[in-house]
């Protein structure tokens, strides 16, 4: 463990990538100095690359202090304002290490060059602790810019853009009239069936059909609804929504399929801690061709989606707009 570690950044929004970066510094150092960019630094060095407003130094510092307290790091931390990309790391005599990423490693190497060339005596070279960038759920690194643009939340989850609300309010398949529901369910007995939502799942269960995959959240509207949970008894829950699709939920949907995405194994239930509505899209994308996906559309009723290449493409185009 190093005695004194230095870490620097703007830390605007203090997202999951920032938190991982800072946590690594405290894992490596007995004490940590955090160089928090000043308002003057942001104006001079970042104004060209940042389109949206960055929070003030005071606001960013306050958020940082709260997080440090929550992690029990505050007693080991010193927060200083920095106005220069190289300083004070290039001239602090008692530093042992500097935390960097692949994007800032060259800056770390420059700081070491400055330290070795300092007068009257050279300072010791710092160990550069490089940590990988934390990826959002689309595999692209989390950044404050993406957070400000509304592409992701602070945990790197893909957020549904407001422009999609009206599109998703339209049924992806056929809205079944009451007289057609029984005929559709009877037809589905020979096919892979997937349900998204508690009422859609209950409709099939009441007809004597256990879906091959049921995706539920234990709620109808905003009210708790335990009937389907009690009947299917899911073992655990996965976080997803509202307003975002989690990587864990998508992986759970994918895992219900055999190799080659040919069929769903037996019967599965995925209980969502949050909201399951948006999981209709990955359910269609990863369903085998010919499967039927049922879901409830507000103010419309039960919707039947027969999975075709065209429907998969339509769902994929929608989900790609989340990035």
Model confidence over 252-288: pLDDT tens digits? 998 887 544 455 657 899 999 999 999 999 999 999 9
Average of per-residue pLDDT across 290-294: 95
- The residue count for the chain: 323
Residue 63 belongs to a domain with what CATH number?
3.40.50.620
Helix-strand-coil percent breakdown of the chain, rounded to 5? 35, 25, 40
The mean-pLDDT minimum among 60-69, 149-158, 167-176, 242-251 falls in 149-158
For residue 51, the enclosing domain spans 2-156
Q: How many CB atoms are closer than 10 A to CB 189?
A: 10
User: Which position has the token pair 């939340």?
Assistant: 153
Per DSSP bridges, beta strands 158-159 and 244-245 are antiparallel
Rg of the chain (C-alpha set): 26
Q: Indicate whether 70 and 147 sit together in one domain.
A: yes
Same domain, 237 and 170: yes
pLDDT for res 51: 52
Verify that 267 and 120 share a domain, yes or no. Answer: no
Q: What is the pLDDT of residue 168?
A: 86
> Whole-angstrom Cα distance, residue 296 to residue 214?
13
> 141 and 14, same structural domain?
yes
Mean pLDDT of 62-67: 97
Please report the DSSP string for 105-158 in residue order: HHHHHHHHHHHHT-SSSPPPPPEEEE-PPPB-TTSSBP-HHHHHTTSB-TT--E
Question: Where are any strands of DSSP class E within the chain?
Answer: 2-9, 29-37, 77-82, 97-100, 127-130, 158-159, 174-175, 193-196, 213-216, 219-220, 223-224, 237-240, 244-245, 268-274, 292-297, 301-306
Of all residues in the chain, the percent with pLDDT exceeding 70 is 93
At residue 90, the pLDDT reads 96
Give me the chain's average pLDDT, please. Answer: 89
With tokens 């399929």, the residue in question is: 257
| Residue that finishes a domain, picked among 112, 133, 156 | 156
If asked whether residues 152 and 183 sit together in one domain, one would say no
> What is the total count of domains within the chain?
2
Distance, C-alpha 220 to centroid of its chain: 25
**Distance separating alpha carbons of residues 116 and 123, to the nearest angstrom:** 5
Residues 46 and 144 reside in one and the same domain = yes
Task: Check residue 56 and report its DSSP letter.
Answer: P
User: Could you tell me if 222 and 139 lie in one domain?
Assistant: no
pLDDT at 52: 57
Q: Tell me the C-alpha distance between 73 and 157, whole Å.
A: 26
- The answer to whether residues 190 and 130 belong to one domain is no
Pair (140, 210) in one structural domain: no
Is pLDDT at 301 greater than 70 in this prediction?
yes
Mean pLDDT, range 98-102, rounded to an integer: 94
Q: What is the mean pLDDT of residues 299-313?
A: 93
| 172 within 8 A of 188, measured Cβ to Cβ | no
Confidence at residue 50, expressed as pLDDT on a 0 to 100 scale: 47
User: What is the tens place of the pLDDT at every residue in 161-219?
Assistant: 777 888 888 999 999 988 899 999 998 888 999 999 999 999 999 999 999 999 999 99
Whether residue 154 is predicted with pLDDT greater than 50 in this model: the reply is yes
pLDDT digits (tens, 9 = 90+) for 105-144: 999 999 999 999 987 889 999 999 999 988 776 677 888 7
Same domain, 149 and 175: no
């Amino acid at each position: 463990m190093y005695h004194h570690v230095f870490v620097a950044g703007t830390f605007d929004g203090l997202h999951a990538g920032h938190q991982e970066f800072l946590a690594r510094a405290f894992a490596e150092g007995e004490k940590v100095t955090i160089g928090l960019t000043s308002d003057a630094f942001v104006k001079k060095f970042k104004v060209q690359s940042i389109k949206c407003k960055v929070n003030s130094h005071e606001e960013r510092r306050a958020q940082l202090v709260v997080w440090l307290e929550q992690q029990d790091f505050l007693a080991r931390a010193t927060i200083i304002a920095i106005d220069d990309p190289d300083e004070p790391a290039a001239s602090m005599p008692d530093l042992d290490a500097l935390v960097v990423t692949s994007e800032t490693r060259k800056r770390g190497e420059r700081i070491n060059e400055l330290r070795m060339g300092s007068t009257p005596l050279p300072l010791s070279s710092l160990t550069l602790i490089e940590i990988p960038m934390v990826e959002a759920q689309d595999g692209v690194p989390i950044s404050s810019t993406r957070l400000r643009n509304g592409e992701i939340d602070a945990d790197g989850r893909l957020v549904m853009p407001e422009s999609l609300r009206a599109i998703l309010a339209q049924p992806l398949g056929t809205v079944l009239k009451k007289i057609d529901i029984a005929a559709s369910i009877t037809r589905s007995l020979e096919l892979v069936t997937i349900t998204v939502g508690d009422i859609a799942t209950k409709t099939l269960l009441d007809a004597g059909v256990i879906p091959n995959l049921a995706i539920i959240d234990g709620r109808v509207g905003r009210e708790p609804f335990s009937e389907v949970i009690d009947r299917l008894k899911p073992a655990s829950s996965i976080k997803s929504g509202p307003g975002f699709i989690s990587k864990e939920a998508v992986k759970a949907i994918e895992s219900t399929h055999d190799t080659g995405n040919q069929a769903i194994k037996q019967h599965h239930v995925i209980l969502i801690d949050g909201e399951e509505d948006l999981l209709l899209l990955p359910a269609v994308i990863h369903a085998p061709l010919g499967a039927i996906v049922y879901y409830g559309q507000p103010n419309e009723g039960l919707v039947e989606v027969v999975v075709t290449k065209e429907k998969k493409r339509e769902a994929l185009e929608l989900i790609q707009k989340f990035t």
